[in-house]
């Protein structure tokens, strides 16, 4: 049993170390100025941009996805109103949510998928966002990355 724990701890350490050594890429959306930094060697499969040019999505080889985007706040949402809407939606299990004056973080589960979302509500009427999704089985790999990627979210 002791050997199994040691092997599991070593595997988790290697996954975190690999993620920490990844090559960073900072994406900046031209339309909204939304930017975030992420490990490009993990999220290496850039998807086709949407027609409205509001952001981009990248996929990883192991089933994770990362979306970085901006949008106009046409519904005049606040961090607290978006938080309440997410909790009431019922499509997902929100296990963590926190708001500040102009930001919101949501995390939880959508079936076997973990989601981690961060939104920044700019004074300009723009909402900047990062959404990270990954299989629940890969929490030890992606949980350490989610906070770092979300903390890098910026917008004018």
Helix (H, G, I), strand (E, B) or coil at 46: strand
Look up the CATH number of the domain holding residue 96. Answer: 3.40.1000.10
Q: Give the Cα separation of 27 and 68 in Å (integer).
A: 8
Using alpha carbons, select from 149, 153, 139 the residue that is nearest to residue 16: 139
- Residue 91: the pLDDT is 83
pTM of the model: 0.85
Helix (H, G, I), strand (E, B) or coil at 75: coil
The neighbouring-strand residues paired with 119 are 104, 129
The neighbouring-strand residues paired with 131 are 67, 117
Centroid of chain to Cα 146: 6
Tokens linked to 85: 């809407």
- Residue 8: the pLDDT is 42
Tokens linked to 58: 């990248």
Q: Which domain does 76 fall in, by range?
A: 2-151
Is residue 156 one of the residues assigned to a domain?
no
Q: How many domains does the chain have?
A: 1
pLDDT less than 50: residues of the chain: 3-14, 16-21
- Residue 17: the pLDDT is 43
């Amino acid at each position: 049993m002791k050997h199994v724990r040691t092997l599991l701890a070593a595997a988790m350490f290697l996954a975190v170390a690999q993620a920490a050594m990844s090559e960073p890429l900072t994406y900046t959306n031209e339309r909204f100025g939304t930017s975030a930094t992420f490990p490009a060697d993990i999220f290496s499969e850039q998807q086709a941009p949407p027609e409205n040019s509001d952001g981009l999505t990248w996929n990883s080889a192991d089933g994770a996805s990362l979306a970085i985007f901006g949008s106009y706040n046409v519904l005049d949402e606040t961090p607290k109103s978006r938080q309440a809407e997410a909790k009431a939606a019922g499509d997902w299990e929100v296990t963590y949510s926190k708001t500040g004056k102009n930001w919101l973080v949501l995390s939880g589960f959508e079936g076997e998928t973990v989601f981690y979302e961060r939104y920044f509500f700019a004074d300009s009427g723009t909402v900047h966002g990062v959404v990270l999704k990954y299989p629940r089985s890969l929490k030890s790999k992606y949980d350490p990355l989610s906070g770092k990627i979300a903390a890098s979210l910026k917008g004018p």
